[in-house]
Amino acid sequence: MANRYTFSTQLEGFIKVDEDGGQYNNRTFSFAIPKETLTVMEADREELLEWGKTKAPNPKRVEVALPKWDEETSIVKYSYSKEDSRKVPVFVDSDGKPCTKETLQAVRKGTKANVIVQQSPYVYGSKVGTKFLVKGVQIVELATGNGAVDSGDLSVEDVVALFGSVDGFKQDDPQVRQAEPVAAVEDSYDF
């Protein structure tokens, strides 16, 4: 009993998705769930929780876990390690080719992507909640740490099994351009 969702988003926050995850081999990235998708996910979550409550040892005394997304901003922080292979998402470019280690090292905040997420229920003693797994990430526009953005050659190539082909980043044919600057609000002081 699981529900899958596919949507476009932008990666946010601290991002570490390459194979070298440090001493504990931890990897992480964050993204916002679009409002339309979040509405569907919240409705599905209620159904999954009701199902979970029927499986709890004492359905009248159940503790419901919080959702995996921030309820105000709809941002999800997704963390995983190589050792837990169930949680490791597949990263592909817009042609559906698996991303290389070098590409994964270059992924930064602002990267535009299509994401496949799976939500399923769990029951752990008297606690009922929903698991949140990112199954796949398709990089559509790669934002790198040096201010460059690669959105590909804007041609549609092949249909990919999970996503289909979209215009955007292709690691075999980089189309690097200067990233659009983010407008900063400057502090002003009145003396």
pLDDT tens digits, 90-100: 899 988 899 88
Burial of 179: CB neighbours in 10 Å, binned 0-12, 13-18, 19+: middle
Domains, the chain, ranges and CATH?
3-178 (2.40.50)
**Span 102-117, mean pLDDT?**
90
pLDDT at 27: 87
Helix, strand, coil share of the chain (percent; to 5): 15, 35, 50
pTM across the whole model: 0.72
Tens-place pLDDT, residues 12-55: 988 888 876 566 678 889 999 999 999 999 999 999 998 888 88
